[in-house]
Amino acid sequence: MDFFSRFAVPHPSPAIYASMVAIGLTVIAVIAGLTYFKKWGYLWREWLTTVDHKRIGIMYLISALIMLFRGGADAIMMRAQLAVPENKLLDAQHYNEIFSTHGVVMIIFMAMPFIMALMNFVVPLQIGARDVAFPRLNALSFWLFFAGAMLLNISFVVGGSPDAGWTSYFPLAGNEFSESVGTNYYMFALQISGLGTLMTGINMITTILKMRAPGMTMMKMPMFTWSSLVANIIIVFAFPVLTVALLMGTMDRLFATNFFTTSNGGMDMLWANLFWVWGHPEVYILILPAFGIYSEIISTFSKRNLYGYKSMVGSMVIISLLSFLVWTHHFFTMGQGALTNSIFSITTMAIAVPTGVKIFNWLFTLWKGKIVITTPMLYSILFLPTFTIGGVTGVMLAMSAADYQYHNTMFLVAHFHMVIIPGVVFAMLAGLTYYWPKMFGFMLNEKIGKIAAWVISISTLVAFMPMFFSGLDGQARRMYTYSESTGFGIWNMISFIGAFGMAIGFALIVYNIYYSTRYASRDIGSDPWDARSLEWATHNPVPEYNFAIIPQVESSEGLWDAKKKGHVLFKGDYEKIHMPNNSGVPFIMGAIFFAWGFSFVFGLWIPGILTTIGIFVCMALRSFEKDHGRYISVKEIEETETKMRGAK
């Protein structure tokens, strides 16, 4: 049967057998541990069935951190392979699978959930809401993301990983040239988690538009909320394109349609176009919330309002529009001619202007401020020059004629890592450190945090700057090896050292979490950073209902004005609070979606049909369900509030 011939262990190498054993042992250890400590009930009641936006945010965060290490391990393997010429550590097929999964994992399963974590956790608090607009849908979004992530992650032990790059260009990704089920995994993993993302988009937009605290007009929203709103609007426009492209790709692979295969009139460029119509906006989905985080942090630790609030908002709106008008810059070399290239060259460069406005606004926020350098602030300060290097090389890439030389080379790899690592990863680490006390009720150690920030940013430069040179010296990306005579050896060796340094930096962060969990003080009050916006107006950690009384604000810096101008945020008395009930359905649907994806990856039609039915049954059941949630009584609120204040 077709199934069995494809179900073989994909890549018979000791590393993969070792990982299989390691995965098996970890699973056994987790199950045994949960049983021994009798935590199954707790896990189910408090986490797997939760609809609380804060817990969902934390689950996104944990997943993102795990995926950072998965993607990081891939990165180290790649850099080790390339460190010296003609290395035999990995063979071509293995290297191809590794860079493909690295790309997918980092963008879809690390960076995306990281911003989802912060958006989920922070946005409702920042706008003074009790939860997101559709809490249950939110849980479903998370479990769909998680199902997709797990699906991609089992690929390397069951059937083979995708090996056509994270861009998965056809016809290379078609059955003819990618025979293993790897690309099927890609199609289904992205599809499932993409559906989750689309739902989050709708959920977040509704939340932000409908659930703001009294007094918070649109132009009084904190900057992170603004950036989340814009990012989610991009999601709602961009992700349907991905859905359709993946569907067409899946049909090509499973049902022999010919959308993208070049026999029978398919068009390979159609894939490239659809992919990047989603793919370019996708990078702004990641970067805009990161910009939002930086705005919050820089203004908090300059002890000053954000400079040019209106132009910050305006530039984000302009960026979001332009992000849909530039996708062709990813294939200037496809032969569309000078006129088309010129148009896209100009639209691409135009993005530099609003981006520049933001950078100058941050710089002017520092101006006349009272700058305190904490760990989150250190990341933000290190972000500015590093990101600028990444950004200006982007302008260089946008010059279409010159891009004929940069395209597909290490220069490009250097550019986008220099944008995405300071832009997104630093922001996430800064946000993690900044919001950690809100999430867990204690602070991360500042000293270890700062060392980690320095190690990571210096290593980033060491790892990626050499690639600008090796790119200009003719090193194409995605080459698993090169010969001594090319002279690329020295650059790649330096890169390897940098990558190793980054690994040390990330390990320091893990150590910091461990260290602070054990030793940090739990007595930090509700506003340890002396911050400015509403999320710091409630307790640490945040009670289930967020705010005992819905706050009323008069500016984008509600808490700051309460502290400095004596505004009263919480007016009136406690009233009973309506909260949604937990539900197991989102988790179960996630599990069914996982099985559904797995079935289709291997073309197992019967389980495929059964799981499809299962999905619809879940949806039907939900529509007949009568669950109106529950109320938290005034007495309960009083008790919680007294206890929280006491803990302070």
Partner 1 sequence: MKFKWVVLSSIFTIFTLLTGCEPLMVLDPKGPQAKTQADDIILSIILMSVIVIVVFAMLVYMLIKFRASKQSKDYEPPHIKGSLLVEAVCVGIPVLIVIFLSVMSVKSNYEVESTPKGYENKKPLIIYASSSNWKWHFSYPEENIETVNYLYIPTDRPIEFKLYSYGPITSFWIPQLGGQKYAMSDMVNTLHLAADVPGEFMGRNANFSGKGFAENTFNVEAMPKDEFEEWVEEVKETAKPLTEEKFDELLKPGHLGQSTYTGTHLGFMPPPEGEHGGHNHSSNDSEKASANDSNESETEAHQNH
- Catalog residues that contact Cu ion under the rule CB under 5 A: 269, 280
- Asked if 477 touches ligand HEM (CB under 6 A), the answer is yes
Pick from partner 1, Cu ion, ligand HEM, none: which does 463 bind, CB < 5 to 8 A by kind?
ligand HEM
End-to-end CA distance of the chain: 65
In the chain, the amino acid numbered 344 is: F
Cβ-contact 327, 279 below 8 angstroms: yes
Show the tokens assigned to 239: 């992700």
Q: How many CA atoms lie within 13 A of 192 on its CB side?
A: 32
Q: Where are the beta strands (DSSP E) in 451-601?
A: 577-579
Between 187 and 499, name the residue whose CB sits nearer to ligand HEM: 499
Dist CA 553 CA 537 (whole Å): 11
Shortest distance in whole angstroms from residue 388 CB to partner 1: 5
Between 228 and 299, name the residue whose CB sits nearer to partner 1: 299
The sign one gets for the Cα dihedral 275, 277, 283, 286 is negative
Between 154 and 269, name the residue whose CB sits nearer to Cu ion: 269
Show the tokens assigned to 201: 């988009």
Binding mask 137-176 for ligand HEM (x = CB under 6 A): ----------------------------xxx---------
Query: What CA–CA distances, in Å, run from 208 to 201, 236, 239?
Result: 11, 14, 20
Query: What CA–CA distances, in Å, run from 430 to 207, 376, 377?
Result: 25, 4, 7
Shortest distance in whole angstroms from residue 291 CB to partner 1: 15
Dist CA 455 CA 438 (whole Å): 26
Pick from partner 1, Cu ion, ligand HEM, none: which does 304 bind, CB < 5 to 8 A by kind?
partner 1
Dist CA 97 CA 47 (whole Å): 33
- Asked if 378 touches ligand HEM (CB under 6 A), the answer is no
Interactions with ligand HEM, residue window 58-117 (CB under 6 A): 72, 75, 78-79, 99-100, 102-103, 106-107, 110-111
Pick from ligand HEM, partner 1, Cu ion, none: which does 280 bind, CB < 5 to 8 A by kind?
Cu ion
Pick from partner 1, Cu ion, ligand HEM, none: which does 512 bind, CB < 5 to 8 A by kind?
none
Between 173 and 233, name the residue whose CB sits nearer to partner 1: 173
Cβ-contact 241, 324 below 8 angstroms: no
- Asked if 213 touches ligand HEM (CB under 6 A), the answer is no
**Run of H or E including 201:** helix 182-210
Binding mask 406-425 for ligand HEM (x = CB under 6 A): -------x---x--xx--xx
Shortest distance in whole angstroms from residue 97 CB to partner 1: 11
Pick from ligand HEM, partner 1, Cu ion, none: which does 154 bind, CB < 5 to 8 A by kind?
none
DSSP states of 499-522? HHHHHHHHHHHHHHHHHHHHHS-S
Query: What CA–CA distances, in Å, run from 629 to 51, 206, 448?
Result: 11, 20, 43
Between 505 and 551, name the residue whose CB sits nearer to ligand HEM: 505
Cβ-contact 446, 509 below 8 angstroms: no
DSSP states of 132-162? -S-HHHHHHHHHHHHHHHHHHHHTTTTT---
Pick from partner 1, Cu ion, ligand HEM, none: which does 262 bind, CB < 5 to 8 A by kind?
partner 1
Shortest distance in whole angstroms from residue 564 CB to partner 1: 9
Tell which one of 478, 563, 567, 622 touches ligand HEM (CB under 6 A).
Answer: 478
Between 443 and 502, name the residue whose CB sits nearer to ligand HEM: 502
Residues that bind ligand HEM (CB under 6 A): 72, 75, 78-79, 99-100, 102-103, 106-107, 110-111, 165-167, 413, 417, 420-421, 424-425, 463, 477-478, 499, 502
